[in-house]
């Protein structure tokens, strides 16, 4: 059967979409290739959040097409994901070797289209139309069991976003908010737990808006909190995480859920973007600095170890020195556990792209460096404060940094490396933190507690390869 290589750019939502496509193809008898070399089908799952990500994918495709011209059987080349959605047929016009362009609501059609293209029933497919209930289609996972079985999994719960932040292209590439049903999501989580998964991350472009239309507020609880309660009830599951949320979505019900739901991990990702009210307004974020700080105080009151992480944009059009200083002072005040800092990049069709007073690139670079140094100092102090403490980790497998060691994550989402073995995979264990590196903790070999093993209920063949 033909082999397929999928290269993924961008966020966890794209990783999840790639996994769903890989699972579809595997179920049809295709093989997954660990690299593009020798693959019969090469798909690039693209990201549009920054111009750099788009240029990288386009340049990769040009290289693949160029290499294919010297091959007897060039691979079938395709784009999928956010850039495929926003650029559509233009991608196939600019690069005639591209025979498949698949939009974000058509991911589940990938296997049908690839079958048709390989069999010669179609020469080229461009499908970026909207499709009702496409949010229900991202549910297939790669089969895996035995020693290499995954302990954590992503579960797509909704697609799209209605917030329309002025810098963001996502509402144009992912469409309007559309949620899956709670029973459907719970069934998927149950299936994953039966395979040995013990932690799920609920995924969506703005997860805190889950079910706003479909699930009316019940006893003061939003649709998203109703979903968290339903997932909490899944037997055999240990931890629940979610991403990406919006600060506006952290109502009293969600803050209360952190104190009430034992499986909801003590980590709140709260994308702030700026510490300046002027910029927050121009970004159309829907909260003020004061409201944000109040939210952080309330969240930290629910748990002593509540980690708060964020996303920040530097160099948004019109960002003055004062605006930037407000961002620095907000970071000091919150003392974030981690922050992802983005240099502003104009995206076509977004309101911010035509705003006046763009910030010169050298100033963006300077502000980025200053903010990064501050975040590293704040985060390092947090990591150092854990040395000597005992933490609970869920062991995920061999360390990605050092294959002779194992790694797990704390409930507040910190990686801990320790000298474990395969028998620890999937267990909750308690380790003493010996030392802290940059965004990594190192655990004591003396494991203080090991739960009884909980093997996967179902056995599945090993996966051929992970989607790249």
When asked if residue 170 is in the footprint of ligand SF4 (CB under 6 A), the reply is yes
Contacting residue, 8, 205, 274, 399, with ligand SF4 by CB under 6 A: 205
Smallest separation, CB 82 to ligand SF4 (Å) = 11
How many CB atoms lie under 10 A from the CB of residue 330? Answer: 20
Smallest separation, CB 286 to ligand SF4 (Å) = 9
Where do we find the tokens 């264990």?
A: 429
Nearer to ligand SF4, 192 or 313 (CB): 313
Number of residues this chain uses to bind ligand SF4 (CB under 6 A): 10
When asked if residue 175 is in the footprint of ligand SF4 (CB under 6 A), the reply is no
When asked if residue 166 is in the footprint of ligand SF4 (CB under 6 A), the reply is no
When asked if residue 182 is in the footprint of ligand SF4 (CB under 6 A), the reply is no
When asked if residue 168 is in the footprint of ligand SF4 (CB under 6 A), the reply is yes
Nearer to ligand SF4, 50 or 430 (CB): 50
Kindly identify the residues of this chain, within the stretch 220-259, that bind ligand SF4 according to CB under 6 A: 246
Pick the stretch among 73-81, 165-173, 230-238, 444-452 that binds ligand SF4 (CB under 6 A). 165-173
When asked if residue 158 is in the footprint of ligand SF4 (CB under 6 A), the reply is no
Nearer to ligand SF4, 78 or 171 (CB): 171
Contacting residue, 6, 61, 142, 206, with ligand SF4 by CB under 6 A: 206
Pick the stretch among 162-170, 178-186, 191-199, 451-459 that binds ligand SF4 (CB under 6 A). 162-170
Contacting residue, 37, 164, 377, 423, with ligand SF4 by CB under 6 A: 164
Residues that bind ligand SF4 (CB under 6 A): 161, 163-165, 168, 170-171, 205-206, 246
């Amino acid at each position: 059967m033909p082999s397929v290589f999928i290269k993924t750019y961008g966020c966890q939502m794209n990783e999840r979409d790639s996994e769903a496509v890989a699972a579809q193809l595997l179920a049809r008898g295709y093989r997954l290739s660990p690299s593009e070399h020798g693959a019969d089908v090469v798909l690039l799952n693209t990201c549009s959040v920054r111009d750099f990500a788009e240029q990288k994918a386009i340049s990769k495709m040009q290289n693949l097409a160029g290499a294919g011209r010297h091959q007897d059987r060039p691979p079938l080349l395709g784009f999928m994901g956010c850039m495929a959605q926003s650029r559509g047929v233009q991608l196939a016009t600019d690069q005639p070797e591209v025979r498949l362009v698949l939009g974000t609501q058509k991911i589940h059609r990938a296997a049908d289209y690839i079958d048709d293209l390989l069999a010669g029933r179609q020469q080229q497919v461009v499908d970026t139309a909207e499709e009702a209930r496409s949010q229900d289609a991202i549910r297939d996972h790669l089969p895996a069991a035995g020693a290499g079985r995954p302990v954590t999994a992503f579960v797509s719960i909704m697609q799209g976003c209605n917030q329309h932040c002025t810098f963001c292209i996502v509402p144009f590439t992912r469409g309007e908010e559309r949620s899956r049903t709670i029973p459907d999501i719970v069934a998927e989580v149950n299936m994953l737990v039966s395979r040995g998964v013990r932690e799920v991350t609920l995924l969506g472009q703005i997860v805190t808006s889950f079910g706003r239309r479909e699930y009316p507020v019940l006893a003061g609880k939003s649709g998203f909190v109703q979903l968290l309660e339903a997932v909490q009830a899944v037997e055999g599951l240990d931890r629940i995480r979610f991403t990406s949320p919006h600060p506006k979505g952290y109502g009293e019900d969600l803050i209360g859920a952190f104190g009430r739901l034992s499986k909801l991990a003590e980590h709140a990702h709260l994308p702030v973007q700026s510490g300046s009210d002027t910029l927050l307004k121009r970004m159309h974020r829907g909260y003020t600095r004061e409201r944000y700080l109040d939210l952080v105080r309330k969240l930290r009151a629910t748990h002593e170890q509540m980690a708060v992480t964020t996303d920040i944009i530097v160099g948004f059009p019109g960002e003055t020195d004062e605006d930037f200083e407000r961002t620095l002072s907000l970071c000091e005040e919150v003392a974030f556990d981690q922050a992802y800092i983005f240099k502003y990049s104009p995206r076509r069709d977004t309101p911010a792209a035509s705003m006046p007073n763009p910030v010169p690139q050298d100033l963006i670079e300077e502000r980025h460096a200053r903010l990064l140094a501050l975040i590293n100092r704040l985060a390092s102090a947090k990591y150092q404060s854990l040395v000597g403490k005992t933490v609970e980790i869920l062991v995920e497998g061999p360390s990605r940094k050092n294959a002779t060691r194992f790694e797990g994550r704390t409930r507040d989402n910190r990686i801990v490396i320790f000298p474990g073995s395969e028998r620890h995979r999937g267990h909750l264990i308690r380790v003493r933190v010996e030392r802290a590196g940059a965004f990594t903790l190192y655990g004591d070999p003396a494991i203080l507690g090991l739960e009884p093993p909980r093997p996967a209920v179902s056995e599945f063949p090993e996966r051929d390869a992970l989607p790249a």
